[in-house]
């Protein structure tokens, strides 16, 4: 059989011969047992029959017959003496007692023989069952040998290097001094030194300490809070380096500048000291690879926000909010919003809720055109600027027409409500002759309240068309996104929005030419509710990640420049896996094996642990998925080992040229149960999964659950998260299950530990299991196979749903009743991708993790919220199982009524943090492909018990 197939090959495999010998020895033993059983079944009854016949011949029964015949011969007992009759009666009684004793002995012998027969029958059944188990194990071993041979061939044929995070290649000297070049024609190809930024450099960034390298002229004041905030947030950025010799880029912080000593300031034409700028130690003569950072957050309508106007900045990249058209170098300089938010932290409280889709006002605007109060005349300017003044006058005429049309729109017959304010009362403090844009009316808080009641927020391009961006425009965009008002930018074709080279603004804002003002109302009314909420959600994602805090703004600036250079980000941080045992302690092992009822079903080969290939797409992810990274996943700051969204090969590639790692069913020919169990198949290469099991002071329950995992195919390892402060008992015996069991000591008792991105997890697939959940092997394997086709979703067993409580509270309730529609799959028994453990720990708002710790509950709901929020997909439930029962387990927390009350509160609190309810309903359930299907007698179901 297996031996013949191995011998027919060209190589000798000792493991195969060993399996063959075991096979034949098992068959020889079985034949001997069968002969013995046959002997017992046929010979023993013969001897029994002969023995009983002899007993009957020698027993007093013959005397009974003779005595009975004598008695029957007497026809008249009256003539007998009383003494003779009494002796006869006594004799009969003795005979009766003797016969009863004999019958009891015979019945005891019969029972003993029957017990022996039953024992032999049970042994036969056990031997048949053992034969079936041995046959199943033999089949598994054969499959394992085939898989090992395939893995060996792939290892021999593989000619690609081992994949790992990029190894850093750094510079060792500061920039060399070269003559300055024309700064106005700068692009990345001619003004940036790429040799200092190797692909594997990690993009080191050096910040000039503004206290040591000040380039501000006397008489000008700086914003100390802004300077401190930026220094602090840059300090948290992983790309920051303290060694300028290895730096790729150098950042110069330009504070917000205001004249405080007008006498001293008048002696300088510009607040920047150009000599000091060009004398910076790593300027290199032309400022290449330098970034001049101006994140002014006050005086948003002043021309003074354009700090670098008419300044020789060499080949340095400018980063600010205000640019003239002849100053901005597209693809080189960077437009960013001013720093308006806090340094960092949770900012979900700042955002408005996303529903209802349509708010009180259809459109709102608060501002005043600068020319209405300070419009310069031609007598105030020289002849060289007359043309620009006429252009500005034409632009003001168009803006005046826009204002007039909007006023007429509000007074029309429409049922829509508008809040349009074109005059600031009282007048804005910022209004003066330096203004280049619309004034911002009211205070920030008053504007915020109006925007929270507005479906759309109108943003008008600068009245001076020579500007491609102003701080006022970027500030209005910031405020609109924060409040959930969809920006409508009139003149969007003439301006540049923040981070426009990476952010797809058309998914979050409406950009219209000013000439379409008469069509704007019709367009806004034509947008349906689902698109309104999709744009509002996208705007909130952009604001939270890229604009809402100083930390997010600084990280985004660095990530944008790094992305422009094609350098991957640094690898995401993993959580260490400290063992609960000290180095000298050796835990006791147990050889107890708990057999599963479906053990006779072959579910797959038993293989040694095989980690999922990691960091295969270090450089291609941003090329292929750059748009999704910035706009869908909203996470360009880290490099991950794998993603649930990785590309899939076409079906023919895995047979022609790209077959490494693939295990097609029937070698590509397909098949039913037998062929199905021998290979993973699917659209992805072979892989395994890791089980994470969280426990707290339920040692025996844990040990039993671990023991049931013996012989589970495709299992890589088991991680036990020891949440208890007390270590395990020293005499606790840990089962041998064929794969490593890693017992991790938790820093504190928290349910959030379940989703830490432990460095011990080496597979993409993670099966999160409660220590009291009893899952059969075939159910686990079925769930794993389903997850491989839904890698970006939660795939598991116990389903739940969120129900709307309309009668009492107009809020959400958590519901665990059986239902034909569900929206959550609990992570007490569910597969997720490891990528989501990074996001849960580092991306999810801290307020949600704090709520989980407060209630010691709801971590499974939080994970469902996170994945549905990112993917906009519901979970996938497998099989009809709805819950788990654990006989003999201690009382669970979930049996307490407060458990459900807390989960009601969690759902509503999480909805408030996310700004909407991200969970989606589904009526879909995955069952075996041959569930309740007629199949030929010579075929086998994919899963016998599902």
For 657-710, the DSSP string reads: T--TT---GGGGT--SHHHHHH---SSS----EEEEEEESS-HHHHHHHHHTTT
Answer whether 833's CB lies under 8 Å from 763's CB: no
User: And the tokens for 926?
Assistant: 């995955």
User: And the tokens for 575?
Assistant: 């959580």
Neighbouring CB atoms inside 10 A of 333's CB total 22
Q: What is the dihedral of CA 911, 914, 916, 920, to 10 degrees?
A: -80
Q: Which residues make Cβ contacts (< 8 Å) with residue 902, sequence separation at least 6?
A: 855, 857, 858
Pairwise CA distance, residues 105 & 49, whole Å: 16
Pairwise CA distance, residues 210 & 223, whole Å: 12
Peptide linkage before 813 cis (omega within 30 of 0): no
Answer whether 493's CB lies under 8 Å from 520's CB: no
Bridge pairing between strands 689-695 and 765-770: parallel
Q: Which residues make Cβ contacts (< 8 Å) with residue 878, sequence separation at least 6?
A: 779, 782, 783, 786, 795, 796, 797, 925, 926, 927
The total number of residues shown for the chain amounts to: 946
For 232-272, the DSSP string reads: HHHHH-TTB-S-GGG-SEEEEEE--EEES-HHHHTT-SSSB
Kindly tell me the number of DSSP H helices and DSSP E strands found in the chain.
22, 28
* End-to-end Cα, the chain, rounded Å: 31
To the query of whether residue 387 is one of the catalytic residues in this protein, the response is: no
User: And the tokens for 427?
Assistant: 């007048």
Pairwise CA distance, residues 352 & 899, whole Å: 29
Bridge pairing between strands 220-222 and 257-259: antiparallel
Quick one: angle between helices 14-58 and 82-157, nearest 10? 170
Question: Which residue is listed with tokens 């005349």?
Answer: 377
CA atoms 410, 416, 420, 425: torsion sign:
positive
Q: Which residues make Cβ contacts (< 8 Å) with residue 882, sequence separation at least 6?
A: 797, 798, 799, 818
Answer whether 431's CB lies under 8 Å from 370's CB: yes
Pairwise CA distance, residues 404 & 518, whole Å: 11
Long-range contacts of range 374-378, CB-CB < 8 Å, 24 or more positions apart? 374/431, 374/432, 374/433, 374/435, 376/433
User: And the tokens for 44?
Assistant: 């023993």
Q: Which residues make Cβ contacts (< 8 Å) with residue 57, sequence separation at least 6?
A: none
* 400: phi then psi, degrees, rounded to nearest 5: -65, -40
List the one residue out of 844, 812, 859, 860 whose CA is nearest residue 914: 844
Q: Catalytic pick from 63, 792, 860, 927?
A: 860
Pairwise CA distance, residues 766 & 757, whole Å: 10
The residues carrying an active-site annotation are 860
């Amino acid at each position: 059989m297996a031996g013949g197939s191995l011998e027919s090959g060209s190589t000798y495999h000792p493991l195969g011969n060993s399996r063959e010998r075991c096979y034949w020895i098992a068959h020889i033993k079985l034949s001997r047992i069968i002969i013995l059983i046959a002997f017992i079944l046929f010979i023993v009854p013969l001897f029994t029959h002969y023995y009983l016949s002899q007993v009957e011949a020698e027993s007093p029964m013959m005397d009974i017959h003779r005595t009975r015949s004598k008695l029957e011969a007497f026809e008249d007992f009256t003539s007998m003496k009383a003494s003779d009759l009494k002796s006869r009666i006594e004799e009969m009684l003795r005979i009766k007692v003797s016969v009863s004793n004999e019958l009891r002995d015979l019945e005891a012998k019969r029972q003993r023989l029957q017990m022996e027969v039953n024992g032999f029958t049970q042994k036969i059944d056990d031997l048949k069952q053992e034969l079936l188990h041995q046959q199943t194990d033999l089949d598994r071993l054969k499959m394992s040998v085939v898989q090992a041979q395939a893995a060996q061939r792939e290892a021999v044929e593989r000619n690609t290097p081992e994949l790992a995070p990029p190894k850093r290649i750094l510079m060792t000297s500061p920039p060399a001094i070269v003559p300055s070049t024309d700064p106005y024609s700068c692009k990345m190809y001619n003004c940036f030194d790429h040799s200092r930024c190797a692909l594997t450099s990690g993009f080191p960034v050096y910040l000039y300490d503004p206290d040591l390298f000040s380039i501000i002229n006397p008489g000008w004041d700086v914003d100390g809070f802004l300077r401190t905030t930026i220094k602090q947030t840059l300090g948290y950025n992983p790309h920051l380096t303290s060694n300028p010799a290895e730096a790729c880029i150098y950042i110069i912080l330009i504070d917000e500048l205001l004249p405080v000593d007008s006498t001293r300031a008048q002696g300088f034409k510009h607040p920047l000291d150009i000599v000091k700028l060009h004398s910076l130690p790593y300027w290199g003569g032309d400022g290449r690879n330098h970034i001049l950072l101006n994140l002014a957050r006050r005086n948003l309508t002043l021309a003074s926000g354009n700090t670098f106007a008419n300044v020789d900045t060499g080949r340095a990249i400018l980063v600010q909010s205000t640019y003239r058209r002849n100053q901005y170098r597209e693809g080189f300089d960077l437009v960013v919003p001013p720093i308006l938010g806090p340094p960092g932290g949770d900012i979900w409280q700042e955002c408005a809720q996303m529903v209802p889709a349509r708010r009180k006002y259809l459109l709102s605007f608060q501002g005043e055109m600068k020319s209405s109060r300070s419009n310069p005349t031609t007598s105030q300017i020289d002849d060289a600027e007359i043309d620009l003044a006429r252009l500005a006058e034409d632009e003001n005429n168009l803006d005046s027409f826009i204002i007039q049309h909007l006023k007429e729109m509000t007074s029309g017959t429409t049922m829509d409500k508008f809040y349009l304010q074109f005059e600031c009362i009282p007048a804005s403090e910022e209004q003066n002759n330096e203004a280049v844009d619309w004034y911002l009316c009211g205070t920030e808080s008053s504007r915020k309240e109006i925007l929270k009641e507005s479906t759309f927020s109108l943003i008008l391009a600068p009245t001076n068309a020579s500007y491609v961006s102003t701080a006022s425009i970027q500030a209005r965009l910031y405020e609109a996104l924060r409040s959930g008002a969809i920006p409508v930018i009139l003149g969007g074709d003439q301006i540049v929005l923040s981070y426009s080279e990476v952010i797809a603004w058309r998914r979050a804002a409406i950009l219209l030419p000013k000439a379409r003002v008469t069509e704007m109302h019709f367009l806004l009314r034509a947008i349906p509710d689902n698109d309104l909420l999709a744009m509002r959600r996208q705007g909130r994602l952009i604001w939270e990640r890229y604009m809402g805090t100083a930390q997010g703004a600084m990280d985004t600036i660095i990530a944008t420049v790094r992305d422009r250079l094609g350098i991957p980000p640094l690898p995401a941080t993993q959580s260490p896996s400290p063992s609960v045992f000290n180095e000298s302690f050796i835990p006791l092992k147990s050889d107890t094996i708990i057999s599963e009822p479906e053990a006779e079903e072959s579910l797959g080969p038993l293989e040694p642990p095989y980690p999922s290939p990691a960091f295969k797409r270090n450089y291609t992810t941003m090329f292929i998925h750059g748009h999704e990274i910035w706009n869908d996943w909203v996470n360009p700051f880290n490099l991950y080992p794998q993603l649930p969204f990785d590309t899939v090969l076409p079906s023919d590639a895995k047979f022609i040229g790209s077959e490494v790692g693939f295990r097609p069913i029937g070698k590509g020919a397909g098949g039913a149960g037998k062929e199905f169990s021998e290979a993973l198949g699917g659209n992805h290469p072979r892989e395994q999964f890791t089980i994470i099991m969280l426990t707290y002071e339920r040692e025996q329950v844990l040990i039993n659950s671990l023991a049931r995992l013996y012989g589970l195919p495709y299992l890589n390892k088991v991680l036990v998260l020891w949440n208890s402060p007390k270590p395990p008992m020293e005499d606790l015996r840990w089962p041998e299950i064929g794969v490593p069991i890693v017992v991790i000591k938790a820093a504190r008792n928290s349910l959030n530990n379940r989703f830490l991105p432990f460095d011990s997890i080496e597979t993409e697939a993670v099966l999160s299991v409660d220590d009291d959940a009893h899952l059969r092997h075939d159910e686990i394997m079925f769930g794993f196979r389903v997850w491989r086709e839904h890698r970006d979703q939660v795939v598991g067993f116990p389903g739940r749903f969120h129900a709307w409580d309309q009668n009492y509270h107009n809020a959400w309730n958590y519901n665990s009743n059986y239902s034909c529609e569900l929206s959550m799959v609990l992570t007490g028994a569910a597969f997720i991708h490891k990528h989501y453990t990074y996001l849960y720990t580092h991306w999810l708002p801290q307020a949600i993790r704090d709520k989980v710790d407060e209630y010691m509950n709801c971590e499974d709901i939080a994970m469902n919220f996170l994945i549905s929020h990112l993917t906009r997909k519901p979970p996938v439930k497998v099989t009809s199982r709805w819950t788990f029962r654990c006989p003999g387990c201690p009382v669970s927390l979930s049996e307490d009524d407060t458990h459900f009350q807390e989960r009601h509160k969690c759902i509503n609190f999480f909805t408030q943090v996310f700004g909407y309810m991200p969970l989606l309903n589904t009526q879909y359930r995955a069952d075996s492909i041959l569930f309740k299907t007629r199949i030929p007698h010579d075929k086998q179901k994919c899963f016998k018990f599902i």
